[in-house]
Amino acid sequence: MDAEKTKAIIEDKEVFEGLMKQIYKSADTDASGSIDTNELKKLVKMITNELECPCPTEKEYETMFNKYDANGDRKFSLEEFSNFMKDMLLLMSTGK
C-alpha cells in the first residue's frame, strides 16, 4: 500500500468521506445502519487478504473495537468506522 497515496486520500476530506460511506454501506450487510463485530471482522479479513497482511487475532479485534466504539454499543456508527479506517489505513501503509 502506497503511503503517500493513502495519506492524500485521507487528507482530502471529501474523497475520504465519500469512500468511507461506500465501504460502510457495503460492510453493513444486514442493513441495520451500523457495523457490528461480525461485519467488521469480515471487512478486515477481506482487506488483510487483499493486501496479504496478517489478520488480527480475536484479542486484537476486541482491542480495536473497544478503542473506536465511542459510545460502547458494540456497533460502529459511520463516524466511529471512519476513525477506525483512517488509523487502520495509516498503520497498514506505514507499518507504524
Asked if residue 60 is part of any domain, the answer here is yes
Asked if residue 63 is part of any domain, the answer here is yes
Residue type, 80: E
CATH number, domain with residue 74: 1.10.238.10
Q: What is the pTM of this model?
A: 0.82
The pLDDT tens digits of the residues spanning 19-38 come to 999 999 999 999 999 999 89
Asked if residue 58 is part of any domain, the answer here is yes
Q: How sure is the predictor about 1, in pLDDT bands with cuts at 50, 70 and 90? A: low
Boundaries of domain holding 38: 33-88
Identify the pLDDT of residue 2.
67
Asked if residue 76 is part of any domain, the answer here is yes
The Cα 41–Cα 50 span in angstroms is 14
Kindly tell me the burial class for residue 51, based on how many C-beta atoms sit within 10 Å of its own C-beta (0-12, 13-18, 19 or more). Answer: exposed
Asked if residue 6 is part of any domain, the answer here is no
Q: Which one, of 15, 89, 96, 83, lies nearest residue 47 by Cα?
A: 89
The pLDDT tens digits of the residues spanning 5-23 come to 878 888 899 999 999 999 9
Asked if residue 11 is part of any domain, the answer here is no
Sign of CA dihedral 77, 78, 84, 88: positive
* Three state DSSP letters for 35-76: EEHHHHHHHHHHHHHHCCCCCCCHHHHHHHHHHHCCCCCCEE
